Amino acid sequence: MKIQERPTPTPTRVEGAQPLRWQRRHVLDTDDWSRAEIEAVLETTGAMLDILRRPIRRAPPLRGKTVILFFAEASTRTRVSFELAAKTLSADVVNITASGSSVEKGETLYDTVRTLEALGGDIVVMRHASSGAPYFVAERTGAAVINAGDGWHAHPTQGLLDAYTLRAALGDLAGKRVVIVGDVLHSRVARSDINTLVPLGAEITLSGPPTLIPFAWRHGALPRGVTYEPDLDRALDGADAAIALRLQKERQESGLLPSVREYARVWGLSEQRVRRMKPSAPVMHPGPMNEGVEIDAAVAHGARSLVEKQVTNGVAVRMALLYLLVGTPSLEVA
């Protein structure tokens, strides 16, 4: 893994911010997080990046703890990122994937939870195609649960790593305008980015085909700090950063967009288009990228791209959360 070189700009801290006592038991969604909690994670992330830069990339706080990676939906990078994060903090890691496991043989989520419980994991990191599945598990296990993506609902670690990456690039996010473009309707990334970036002071401009924007949002009932601009060129004018969302192939089949080529032409981040933003305004993508669709290869690998930094920071953010959760006392489950 490539580790960014020092000096890394330390994310700006809020003036007079009080040191925070981490109290959360699970990371299910960031929609109810205070700014102080987000700041605490970002601060700890900086310390974790420091470990990743050292000659010996290992620290002991999760020694003797077991992290279960339960991925009931395909994912390589997020799972590997969590695995690396857990191992760097000296945890033991157990993988349970949907294919080849009893999940495929028809085991219910409840039975899987009982199994996870019996395995004695301290932290369960889970991805699931059903929105809300991590809540179901969190209510029924003594382990701490981290949501690694549930349906269309939330992907909190992505939101936090995007916040860290943007802050490292832009400094204080107060008044900074970030464009999120693409399939917002089905995107847990978009929702988690909004939940993390808005409390830090950023203003979000959503753009994308109206069919892929939540109905209420495109009719003006938007969350605080968020606007919708159907014209991508206008959205990008003078923006401080842009995040392209991944276009799922199924969306075309379900008739929500005319063709992938047309999508690329109207909603893709092309080199010409990103020049509408402020000079050197960065571009991000949660990966894996469809190059030539939502983002041009020249932009994805160009000077504005923070995509690789997102990957590195992702490991550090996950380390920070694993560390913070393992310190919170477990509750006995009846």
Judged by the rule CB under 8 A, the positions of this chain that interact with other proteins are 6, 10, 19-23, 40, 43-44, 46-51, 54-56, 58-61, 89, 320, 323-329
Return the closest-CA partner of residue 229 out of 255, 209, 247.
209
Residue 200 beta carbon to other proteins: minimum distance, rounded to whole angstroms: 16
Q: How far apart are CA 148 and CA 274, in angstroms?
A: 30
- How many CB atoms neighbour CB 122 within 10 A? 19
Residue 317 beta carbon to other proteins: minimum distance, rounded to whole angstroms: 13
Residue that has been written with the tokens 């003036």 in this structure: 15
Residue 146 beta carbon to other proteins: minimum distance, rounded to whole angstroms: 14
Helix (H, G, I), strand (E, B) or coil at 116: helix
Nearer to other proteins, 35 or 301 (CB): 35
Residues paired with residue 145 on neighbouring β-strands, in sequence order: 124
Residue 161 beta carbon to other proteins: minimum distance, rounded to whole angstroms: 17
Locate all alpha helices (DSSP H) within 185-267, ordered by sequence.
Answer: 188-197, 215-218, 232-236, 250-253, 260-267
Nearer to other proteins, 116 or 325 (CB): 325
Nearer to other proteins, 56 or 303 (CB): 56
Spatial CB neighbours of 77, under 8 Å, sequence gap ≥ 6: 287, 288, 311, 314
Going by their DSSP bridges, the two strands 241-244 and 177-181 should be labelled as parallel
Nearer to other proteins, 23 or 280 (CB): 23
Residue 92 beta carbon to other proteins: minimum distance, rounded to whole angstroms: 15
Nearer to other proteins, 90 or 115 (CB): 90
Amino acid identity, position 304: R
Residues paired with residue 243 on neighbouring β-strands, in sequence order: 180, 284
Residue 298 beta carbon to other proteins: minimum distance, rounded to whole angstroms: 34
Nearer to other proteins, 52 or 274 (CB): 52
Nearer to other proteins, 5 or 253 (CB): 5
197-215 CB burial, b ≥16 within 10 A, e <16: bbbbebbbbbbbbeebbbe
Residue that has been written with the tokens 């000659």 in this structure: 55
Residue 26 beta carbon to other proteins: minimum distance, rounded to whole angstroms: 14
